[in-house]
Structure 1
Amino acid sequence: STLEDPRLMGFRTNVIAVEPPKDLPPEPMGFDEILNGALTRANYALISTPNAEFGVGIEAGIIKLGKINAYLDVTMAVIADRYGETTVGLSPAFMVPRKFAEEVLRGRELNDVAEQYYGVVNIGRRYGLIGAVTRRFIERLDLNTEAVYMALLPRAPWNKNLYST
């Protein structure tokens, strides 16, 4: 799990996985939908776990680059706490193959398109499209981890004064 990574910048974690709410859209498009999904997941995790200090939500989605008519897959992590503070981080993003993006725009989920193309059942939950296009050099877990690291930056003890309001 991303949150159990020992390199979490000195943070000690005790992770309790929570199933996300069922009413999230299946394929978020654009930063606002991705943020909404990650924020909903983070708040739901916090509410579902009464003793938790933080709720972490991770959501991947697609953003459009209009000027070049291309699409990027990006992962967003949101960390919410019981004091109302929310921090956000993004993973590196990568171009979605045009034929895949066209299918998503027709209403299919990216996981289903990738699963059909690569013949790997539930590829999105395993190593992701990024794992397939990089021949598993980079996997979904890597992108999730990077997004969580970025969301943790404002919470790092050495950055508290820098990010405090």
Structure 2
Amino acid sequence: MILVALGSRNPNKVRGTELAFRIAGLRANVVSIEPPGDLSPEPIGLDEIINGAIRRARYAIGIVRNAEFGVGIEAGIIRVKGFEEGVDVTIAAIIDGSGKVTLGFSPGFMVPRKFMNEVVRGVELNDVVSRYYGEPNIGRKYGLIGTLTRRFIDRIVLNTEAVYMALIPRMPWNTELFRG
């Protein structure tokens, strides 16, 4: 059994991490911890999303004793020139005891312009979406993707895909390709 430290207490991220390791054929005990307190509430831009995921992973592996991997999952918005809408993407970072980091991305989807207008003013996307749909804390449930797809796809799916993609370089048949 592999001990995995996850830098989040969000149930969608916990479940997504458990599923990704299971799909990869790895038996994992996922221990979730509170992430560092100084993360951006709504990361905007690829660098900020990736750095948030890495910080979460690094922090988690440093806190959970004997963890073989630290996992950080960060969702955020990428602004695309020429579009008023943003693209929401989930990025996972996995770090091991040697400090090697691997990354994985979920599929991205467009954030409605009416939501982006508030996000660029500093309002967290979860708050905007929860207010619009009249349901508190949608981000800890199925997320904006769940509302837009009528729950065909939810946050667990995006988190699972991002973590699994970050595991690809660590698969036994791929380690030679990704070595030093």
Shorter-chain TM band: over 0.9
**1:81 is aligned to 2:96:** yes
Match of 1:3 among 17, 20, 32: 17
The answer to whether the aligner puts 1:21 opposite 2:29 as a matched pair is: no
RMSD: 1.0
Give the fraction of aligned pairs with identical amino acids, expressed as a percent. 60
Distance 2:55 2:17 in 1: 18
SS of the residue corresponding to residue 36 of structure 1 reads helix
Q: Are 1:66 and 2:85 matched, yes or no?
A: no
Moved more, 40-49 or 61-70: 61-70
Normalising by the residue count of structure 2, what TM-score does the alignment of the two structures yield?
A: 0.89
Corresponding residue number in structure 2 for 1:144 = 159
Deviant stretches of 4+, over 2 Å: 67-70
Which of 113, 116, 120 does residue 128 from structure 2 map onto? Answer: 113
Residues 102-139 of structure 1 deviation map (CA, whole Å, 9 limit, x = unaligned)? 11011111001000110111001111000011111100
Match of 1:101 among 116, 140, 153: 116
Aligned runs of 1:24-39 on 2, under 5 Å?
24-39=39-54
Counterpart residue number, 1:12 = 27
Q: TM-score, normalised by structure 1?
A: 0.97
Gap regions ≥5 residues in structure 2: 1-14
Cα contact 2:146–2:154 (8 A) shared by 1: yes
Give the gaps of 5 or more residues in structure 1. Answer: none
Count of aligned pairs between the two proteins: 165
1:2 CA drift (Å):
1.5
Secondary structure of the residue aligned to 1:111 is helix
Give a deviation string over 1:30-68, Cα, whole Å, max 9, x none: 011101110110011100112100000000000011033
| Corresponding residue for residue 123 of structure 1 | 138
